[in-house]
């Protein structure tokens, strides 16, 4: 197979998964809008007014809500901005694999050894990604258009087609960012974390503009700010071609710098090498006592990671608590949302915290679990698992310690966020029973256990596919939980989602759901042990 063909295959799974996620989100949002906004112009105007009140408080995450009395306006606000972010994150992760992951697997060195130039290597990987991303964006938009059509509110296809330019531009920027950062560090894991920090920082810069801040020179460097300038689906809206081309030019510059850097660094090394420091050899073991304890050693090594997740989730928890009263007030005049609130078990500000916050927190903890699955797969690819086994650890022990460390880390993050929820509730005069809050926090762990165990079973079976598959499971499960109240989905279908099995423990505890999640976690932990026992490391 040619180099280009292999490059296409390397991006194929991610491209398909992203298109499925984007298309699925488009269909659900389109059909949900038709259900909750009403069919008459008057109903949609009332809905738009209420949603705009809420949307102005969610500008940290979504663009300013405009023309929500139309399907096009709602999808522009609720769907396309989120899908574009998902595509950018996928592109960044794909780029770290192309820019650093292939070196860790020895693929880059093999192709260079047979005469392929470094420029051709990265240029081919980039070209293959461009082809896959075009197909993924096109499929996402086509499925979303189908969803709007079956909701009897078709989108203008010519305007929808022009939206592909800014979405594709942002996707290519994500690839350029990941590829360039990969040249500056030594492992794919470090490249992914560093590029994610940069992406989140630039997204936050745009969030401050969305919230009413004045655009600064830094905002113009954020591709998310440039992306928001294109609104072709809105009435009198259009694609800002200059802004979209600017994103593409930045992406091209990042790819060009990456090719230049790849030609000037050693295989396996970073672009800039610091001075090698010499010192007295140390033959004594580290003094940190936690490093000598099973499970806690893993927690100790991840303390910075855990603190970062806990702090971020705590800030979001306090912010969500501050919105609880306004969310309830915003939807008092929207009959469809009243029905949704009734089905979701929301009757006041306390229930908003109990239902809305914990559903959001569960999604974030599921992402936390997916990140850990990615780290487990990386340990296999980068040789750390092999070293651990060579040191005498058994394969079942590794699986059990990983799952236990995940649960402890997730428990710490969840506890910190719940303290922030309680403090926010007290500050904004929202009654929350402490006992129920503690129980709801503890019951999040079976959900994490289920996702982590499924993820490890997939790592033991196919490490390269594990992250994509478990992320897809998490996304589908979250959508089922979010949209089940809209469509009155049969309970047996809804309960295929771990988020639904979690229930609403702030009001009533679903002990059957918690037991089911625990059984799922236990079964897949055993499957994970069997899978890693029966597979050669590195394959």
Please tell me whether residues 385 and 470 are part of one structural domain: yes
At 36-51, the pLDDT tens digits run 777 788 888 877 877 7
Instruction: Specify the pTM.
Output: 0.77
Binning the chain into helix, strand and coil, the percentages to the nearest 5 are 75, 0, 25
Which residues sit opposite 504 in a β-bridge? 508
User: CB of 227 within 8 A of CB of 169?
Assistant: yes
DSSP 361-392: HHHHHHHHHHHHHHHHHHHHHHTHHHHHHHTT
**pLDDT under 50: residue ranges of the chain:** none
Is 351 part of a structural domain of the chain?
Answer: yes
Q: Token pair for residue 272?
A: 């800039």
**Residue where one domain finishes, among candidates 271, 305, 321:** 271
Residue 94 to residue 101: CA distance in whole angstroms: 9
Is 279 part of a structural domain of the chain?
Answer: no
- Backbone phi and psi for residue 508, each to the nearest 5 degrees, phi listed first: -150, 140
Please tell me whether residues 382 and 527 are part of one structural domain: yes
Is 407 part of a structural domain of the chain?
Answer: yes
Is 12 part of a structural domain of the chain?
Answer: yes
**Residue where one domain finishes, among candidates 271, 301, 317:** 271
- Please give the C-alpha separations between residue 491 and each of 21, 345, 423, 498, 503, in angstroms, as whole numbers: 23, 15, 34, 13, 12
Please tell me whether residues 135 and 77 are part of one structural domain: yes
**Residue 175: which residues within 8 A CB-CB, separation 6 or more?**
91, 92, 94, 95, 126, 129, 133, 251, 255
Please tell me whether residues 214 and 306 are part of one structural domain: no
Tokens 């705009």 correspond to 52
Tokens 């609104």 correspond to 231
Question: What is the pLDDT, as a whole number, of residue 463?
Answer: 76
Please tell me whether residues 231 and 122 are part of one structural domain: yes
Is 277 part of a structural domain of the chain?
Answer: no
Question: What is the pLDDT, as a whole number, of residue 252?
Answer: 95
Angle at 385 between CA 539 and CA 398, to 5 degrees: 110
SS3 at position 255: helix
Is 276 part of a structural domain of the chain?
Answer: no
Please tell me whether residues 265 and 312 are part of one structural domain: no
Is 492 part of a structural domain of the chain?
Answer: yes
Q: In terms of C-beta density within 10 A (0-12 exposed, 13-18 middle, 19 or more buried), how is residue 257 classed?
A: middle
- Please give the C-alpha separations between residue 335 and each of 35, 345, 487, in angstroms, as whole numbers: 11, 15, 15
Residue 258 to residue 180: CA distance in whole angstroms: 5
Extended strands (E) in 164-314: none
For residue 151, the enclosing domain spans 1-271
Question: What is the pLDDT, as a whole number, of residue 139?
Answer: 94
**Residue where one domain finishes, among candidates 224, 240, 271:** 271
In total, how many domains does the chain have? Answer: 2
Please tell me whether residues 257 and 303 are part of one structural domain: no
- Please give the C-alpha separations between residue 148 and each of 152, 156, 235, 260, in angstroms, as whole numbers: 6, 10, 17, 45
Is 246 part of a structural domain of the chain?
Answer: yes
**Residue 249: which residues within 8 A CB-CB, separation 6 or more?**
none
SS3 at position 96: helix
Please tell me whether residues 341 and 413 are part of one structural domain: yes
Q: Token pair for residue 502?
A: 């979690």
Q: In terms of C-beta density within 10 A (0-12 exposed, 13-18 middle, 19 or more buried), how is residue 399 classed?
A: buried
Neighbours of 76 (CB within 10 A): 24
Residue 362 to residue 414: CA distance in whole angstroms: 9
Question: What is the pLDDT, as a whole number, of residue 246?
Answer: 94
Question: What is the pLDDT, as a whole number, of residue 393?
Answer: 76
Residue 159 to residue 181: CA distance in whole angstroms: 34
User: CB of 404 within 8 A of CB of 372?
Assistant: no
Please tell me whether residues 261 and 144 are part of one structural domain: yes
Which residues sit opposite 508 in a β-bridge? 504
Question: What is the pLDDT, as a whole number, of residue 523?
Answer: 93
Question: What is the pLDDT, as a whole number, of residue 328?
Answer: 62
Please tell me whether residues 258 and 301 are part of one structural domain: no
User: CB of 44 within 8 A of CB of 69?
Assistant: yes
Residue 22 to residue 17: CA distance in whole angstroms: 9
Question: What is the pLDDT, as a whole number, of residue 487?
Answer: 59
**Three-class DSSP labels, 301-353:** HCHHHHHHHHHHHHHHHHHHHHHHHHHHHHCCCCHHHHHHHHHHCCCCHHHHH
Neighbours of 150 (CB within 10 A): 12
Please tell me whether residues 505 and 385 are part of one structural domain: yes
Which residues sit opposite 215 in a β-bridge? none
Neighbours of 114 (CB within 10 A): 7
Q: Token pair for residue 228?
A: 């928001």
At 85-124, the pLDDT tens digits run 889 988 998 898 888 877 877 778 888 888 888 888 889 9
Please tell me whether residues 118 and 64 are part of one structural domain: yes
């Amino acid at each position: 197979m040619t180099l280009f063909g292999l490059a296409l295959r390397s991006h194929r799974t991610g491209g398909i998964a992203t298109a499925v996620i984007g298309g699925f989100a488009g269909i659900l949002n389109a059909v949900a809008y038709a259900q909750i906004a009403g069919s008459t112009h008057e109903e949609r105007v009332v809905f738009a007014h209420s949603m705009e009140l809420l949307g102005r408080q969610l500008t940290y995450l979504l663009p300013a809500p405009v023309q929500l009395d139309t399907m096009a306006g709602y999808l522009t606000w609720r769907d396309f901005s989120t899908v574009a972010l998902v595509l950018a994150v996928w592109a960044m992760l794909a780029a770290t694999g192309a820019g650093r992951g292939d070196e860790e697997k020895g693929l880059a060195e093999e192709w260079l050894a047979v005469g392929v130039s470094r420029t051709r290597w990265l240029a081919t990987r980039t070209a293959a990604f461009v082809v896959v991303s075009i197909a993924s964006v096109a499929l996402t938009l086509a499925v979303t258009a189908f969803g709007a059509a079956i909701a009897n509110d078709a989108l203008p296809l010519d305007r929808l087609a022009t939206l592909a330019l800014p979405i594709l531009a942002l996707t290519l920027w994500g690839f350029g960012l990941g590829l360039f950062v990969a040249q500056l560090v030594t492992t794919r894991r470090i490249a992914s974390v560093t590029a994610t920090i940069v992406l989140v920082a630039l997204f936050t810069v745009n969030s401050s503009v969305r919230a009413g801040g004045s655009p600064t020179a830094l905002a113009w460097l954020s591709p998310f700010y440039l992306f928001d300038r294109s609104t072709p689906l809105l009435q009198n809206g259009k694609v800002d071609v200059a802004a979209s081309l600017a994103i593409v030019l930045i992406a091209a510059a990042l790819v060009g710098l990456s090719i230049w850097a790849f030609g000037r660094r050693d295989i396996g090394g970073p672009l800039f090498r610091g001075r090698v420091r010499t010192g007295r050899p140390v033959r004594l073991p580290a003094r940190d006592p936690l490093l000598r304890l099973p499970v806690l050693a893993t927690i100790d090594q991840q303390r910075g990671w855990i603190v970062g997740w806990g702090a971020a989730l705590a800030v979001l928890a306090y912010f969500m608590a501050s919105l609880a009263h306004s969310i309830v007030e915003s939807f008092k005049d929207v009959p469809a949302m009243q029905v949704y609130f009734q089905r979701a078990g929301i009757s006041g500000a306390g229930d908003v915290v109990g239902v809305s916050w914990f559903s959001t927190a569960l999604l974030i903890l599921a992402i936390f679990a997916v990140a850990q699955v990615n780290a487990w797969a990386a340990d296999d690819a980068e040789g750390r698992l092999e070293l651990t086994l060579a040191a005498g650890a058994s394969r079942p022990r590794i699986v059990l310690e990983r799952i236990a460390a995940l649960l402890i880390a997730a428990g710490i993050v969840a506890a910190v966020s719940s303290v922030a929820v309680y403090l926010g509730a007290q500050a904004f005069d929202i009654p929350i029973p402490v006992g129920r809050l503690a129980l709801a926090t503890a019951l999040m762990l079976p959900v994490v256990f289920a996702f982590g165990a499924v993820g490890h079973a997939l790592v033991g079976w196919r490490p390269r596919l594990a992250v994509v598959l478990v992320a897809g499971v998490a996304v589908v499960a979250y959508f089922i939980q979010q949209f089940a109240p809209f469509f009155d989905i049969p309970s047996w279908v809804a309960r295929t989602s771990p988020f639904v099995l979690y229930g609403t423990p702030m009001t009533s505890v679903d002990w059957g759901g918690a037991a089911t999640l625990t059984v799922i976690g236990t079964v897949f932990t055993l499957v994970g042990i069997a899978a890693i026992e029966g597979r050669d490391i590195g394959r």
